[in-house]
Structure 1
């Protein structure tokens, strides 16, 4: 009985992977776009765009600082647009 449950679970996992395989790139792109939007919202005050949640996003800077370099390169900026943050 235990082997049957295990094999049924593996079958469901395989079925899920087969269904999601064609959409992996699309899902990854959507997640990256959401992440880019989040980074823009977090750093918008420093870029001169008013952000009403600036006080709350301030606490997140140490955690997202590592991703900042990849983000500004994806946005087409060769160097960091922020004077306070030098990553290049």
Structure 2
């Protein structure tokens, strides 16, 4: 499932996925040669504990990314479709 919120914000966060798909489909890149990054795990090195706790709320994430529609989504979906890819 694609979280289609990019049209409501000036920064299109899904554009790099579309670029990657285009490059693979047109065979400019070979999918099996791409190294997928690991998920960031040491977030406390760069973020405070209170900030990390605050993004367990869809409303707070919506405020941070400036897309108010995200506040209406369950936090599990926000985690899976938005925050997890950010950690990659």
TM-score relative to the length of structure 1: 0.22
Asked which structure has the greater CA Rg, the reply is 1
Higher helix share: 1
Q: Which has the higher contact order (CA 8 A, sep 6+)?
A: 2
- The two structures have a TM-score, normalised by structure 2, of 0.22
